[in-house]
Amino acid sequence: MGLFDLTGKTAVVTGSTRGIGRAIAEEMARAGARVVVSGRKQEACDAVAAEIRKAGGDAVGIACHIGDKAQVKALVTKARAAFDRIDILVLNAATNPAYGPLAEVSDEAFDKTMAVNVHSQLWLCAQVLPEMAARKDGAIVFIASIGGFRGSRNLGAYAISKAAIMQTARSLAGEWSPHNIRINCVAPGLIRTDFSRALIENKEVLASRLATTPLGRVGEPIDVVGAVILLASDAGRFITGQSIVVDGGTTIAG
Ligand SMILES: NC(=O)c1ccc[n+]([C@@H]2O[C@H](COP(=O)([O-])OP(=O)(O)OC[C@H]3O[C@@H](n4cnc5c(N)ncnc54)[C@H](OP(=O)(O)O)[C@@H]3O)[C@@H](O)[C@H]2O)c1
Contact 191, 224 (CB under 8 A): yes
Strand partners, 34: 10, 58
> What pLDDT is attached to residue 1?
79
Closest by CA to 6, choosing from 183, 229, 189, 199, is 229
> Does any ligand 1 atom lie closer than 6 A to the CB of residue 197?
no
Catalytic residue list contains 158: yes
Q: What is the arrangement of strands in the sheet containing 138-143, beginning at the earlier edge strand?
A: 58-61, 34-37, 10-13, 88-91, 138-143, 181-188, 243-246
Distance from the alpha carbon of residue 122 to the mean position of ligand 1, in angstroms: 17
The pLDDT tens digits of the residues spanning 106-124 come to 999 999 999 999 999 999 9
The pLDDT tens digits of the residues spanning 115-159 come to 999 999 999 999 999 999 999 999 999 999 999 999 999 999 999
| Active-site residue (options: 158, 159, 181, 243) | 158
Which pLDDT band holds residue 162 (cuts at 50, 70, 90)?
Answer: very high
Q: Could you give the CA distance from residue 64 to residue 52 in angstroms, rounded to a whole number?
A: 19
> Does any ligand 1 atom lie closer than 6 A to the CB of residue 196?
yes
Mean pLDDT, rounded, for 223-244 = 98
> Does any ligand 1 atom lie closer than 6 A to the CB of residue 97?
no
Q: Does residue 36 register a pLDDT over 90? A: yes
> Does any ligand 1 atom lie closer than 6 A to the CB of residue 14?
yes
Domain ranges of the chain: 10-246
> What pLDDT is attached to residue 254?
78
Q: Tell me, which fold does domain 10-246 have in CATH?
A: Rossmann fold (3.40.50)
Hey, which of 26, 195, 213 would you mutate to test ligand 1's pocket, going by the most ligand atoms within 8 Å of its Cβ? 195
The pLDDT tens digits of the residues spanning 55-88 come to 999 999 999 999 999 999 999 999 999 999 999 9
> Does any ligand 1 atom lie closer than 6 A to the CB of residue 120?
no
